[in-house]
């Protein structure tokens, strides 16, 4: 079982990641609306702006790795840094 200090540290990291994830959702919400409107009113030239927004969101989620700790439960007493 991780120490209280490790649990508190991991809790704070998780809360920060949740905050970043919320900002990402808000930004992607607006960007996706703008991108799809541009895609619908402009002639198709190159890749869809909407799908590029989706790709950016997916890359950010992979980088953020919000739920990584769930796959490491019980493996080490070092928490997220184990």
Nearest residue to 28 via CA among 61, 7, 54:
54
Q: For the chain, which residues score pLDDT lower than 50? A: none
Measure the CA–CA gap between 19 and 40, rounded to whole angstroms: 32
Whole-model pTM? Answer: 0.74
**DSSP code for 1:** -
Q: How confident is the model over 35-57, as pLDDT tens digits?
A: 999 999 987 777 899 999 999 99
Measure the CA–CA gap between 7 and 49, rounded to whole angstroms: 41
Tokens representing 28?
Answer: 């992607």
The angle subtended at Cα 27 by Cα 21 and Cα 31, nearest 5°, is 140
């Amino acid at each position: 079982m991780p120490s209280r200090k490790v649990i508190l540290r991991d809790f704070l990291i998780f809360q920060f990641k949740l905050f970043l994830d919320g900002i990402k959702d808000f930004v992607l919400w607006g960007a996706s609306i703008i991108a799809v409107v541009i895609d619908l009113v402009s002639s198709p030239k190159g890749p869809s702006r909407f799908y590029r927004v989706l790709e950016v969101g997916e890359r950010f989620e992979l980088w953020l790795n919000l739920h990584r700790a769930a796959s490491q439960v019980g493996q080490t007493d070092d928490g997220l840094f184990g």
